[in-house]
């Protein structure tokens, strides 16, 4: 039986999201626009937890699926955990070993494994999706690291750091697509030219 999951990333091409789509909906952090019927917001960063703790952001309207660093944050702040425990749908602590490839320190795996990676892996591994639709994953296609998250969380977007992140992030997509070779992935973008070689279980739908 087909199980469809739609993942809304935070890149410019998130606007290609079809609000009438059928299936489970995941968002990364705070979505760039209003989305109904969201299964969960996926979060992996300390920065996101800090913003929620200080109250500069509010994601109480969503269920949360949290990675390793958010769990650490809550363990160190029991009052914050108690306040938001009712919003937590799941902790997803699995970080594949391939996220650390190319680094000398295995602990960097969680840093390399970004919110989009985790959302996709969670969709395939935990939700057992047979078909995953991905919107706003612009770094797969272009040297474009713009994210709606940058509007409310400070990020280093210097060229040096962008190249470093892209070199760490892009190879992980190949591993995810190959790990879940029975899953069909559909990427949405304004053009069909990717910066990585895509296996047969990945297709691109573009405006052109």
25-74 confidence digits (pLDDT tens): 999 999 999 999 999 999 999 999 999 999 989 999 999 999 999 999 99
Q: Is the pLDDT of residue 178 over 90?
A: yes
Pair of tokens at residue 99 = 């996220």
pLDDT tens figures, 75-103: 999 999 999 999 999 999 999 988 886 55
Both tokens of 13, joined, read 């091409």
Task: Give the pTM.
Answer: 0.89
Tell whether the model's pLDDT for residue 166 goes beyond 90: no
Separation of alpha carbons 207 and 60, rounded Å: 34
- Per-residue pLDDT, 150: 55
- The answer to whether 61 touches 81, Cβ cutoff 8 Å, is no
96-129 residue pLDDT tens: 988 886 555 555 556 789 999 999 999 999 999 9
Query: CA-to-CA distance for 19 and 111, rounded, in angstroms?
Result: 31
């Amino acid at each position: 039986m087909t199980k469809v999951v739609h993942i809304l990333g935070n890149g410019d091409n998130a606007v290609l999201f079809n609000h009438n789509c059928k299936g489970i909906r995941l968002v990364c952090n705070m979505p760039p626009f209003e989305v109904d019927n969201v299964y969960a917001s996926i979060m992996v960063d300390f920065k996101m937890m800090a913003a929620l703790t200080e109250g500069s952001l509010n994601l109480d309207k969503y269920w949360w699926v949290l990675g390793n660093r958010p769990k650490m944050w809550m363990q160190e702040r029991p009052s914050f955990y108690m306040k938001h425990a009712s919003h937590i749908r799941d902790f997803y602590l699995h970080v594949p070993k391939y996220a650390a490839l190319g680094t000398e320190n295995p602990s960097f795996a969680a840093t390399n494994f970004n919110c989009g990676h985790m959302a996709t892996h969670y969709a395939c591994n935990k939700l057992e999706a047979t078909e995953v639709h991905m919107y706003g994953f612009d770094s797969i296609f272009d040297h474009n690291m713009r994210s709606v998250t940058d509007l409310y969380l400070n990020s280093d977007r210097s060229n040096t750091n962008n190249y470093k992140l892209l070199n760490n992030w892009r190879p992980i997509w190949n591993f995810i697509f190959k790990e879940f070779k029975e899953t069909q992935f559909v990427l949405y973008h304004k053009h069909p030219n990717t910066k990585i070689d895509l296996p047969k279980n990945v297709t691109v739908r573009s405006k052109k």
